[in-house]
Amino acid sequence: MRRIVVGTDGSEHSRAALDWAWDEATLWHASLDVVHAWLYPYAYGHRITVSEPVELVKLDAGHLLDHEVSELRARKHTGTGDGDGDVELHAHLIEGSPSEVILREGKDADLIVVGSRGRGGFLSLMLGSVAHQVSNHATCAVVVVRSPDA
């Protein structure tokens, strides 16, 4: 295994997916591509940014990705990933539908990892729409991770 793609949206399930993907990348000495897709209007936390200019919305999405990556590194007690034994990690902020972006980024990956649910409003669903789309349409293996609290 050489390359793992993991989607993140700031939810507890995606944090569990990040942790799982990091551990798997460590085990296989694989690179890890952390992908955060965003659309306008963009839901950041509990705030939906409709009135803000697109540039500020993209900035919010970038902050979320940066936060998730730095928190992942902190949880894993690691440095920067620049040859000191850490996972080679690449963060990607991409405008588009989350499932489409993850599928496109994972086209040449060995593994795609997603959380079982994101920040969507349908709490009764066992599997979120992004996890459902990715698991049904990916051209490589897919792991769907639930948060420990689920």
Report the CATH number that the domain containing residue 13 is assigned in CATH.
3.40.50.620
Which pLDDT does position 88 carry in this prediction?
Answer: 95
CB 138 within 8 A of CB 6: no
Strand 89-95 and strand 31-38: the pairing is parallel
DSSP line for 35-86 = EEEE-SSEEETTEEESSS-HHHHHHHHHHHHHHHHHHHHHHTT---SSSSSS
CB 87 within 8 A of CB 95: no
- Structurally, the chain folds into a number of domains equal to 1
Q: Mean pLDDT, consecutive 10-residue segments, the chain of 150 residues?
A: 96 95 97 93 56 81 96 81 69 95 98 81 56 95 87
At residue 111, the 3 state secondary structure works out as strand
Give residue 53's domain range.
Answer: 3-145
pTM (two decimals): 0.85
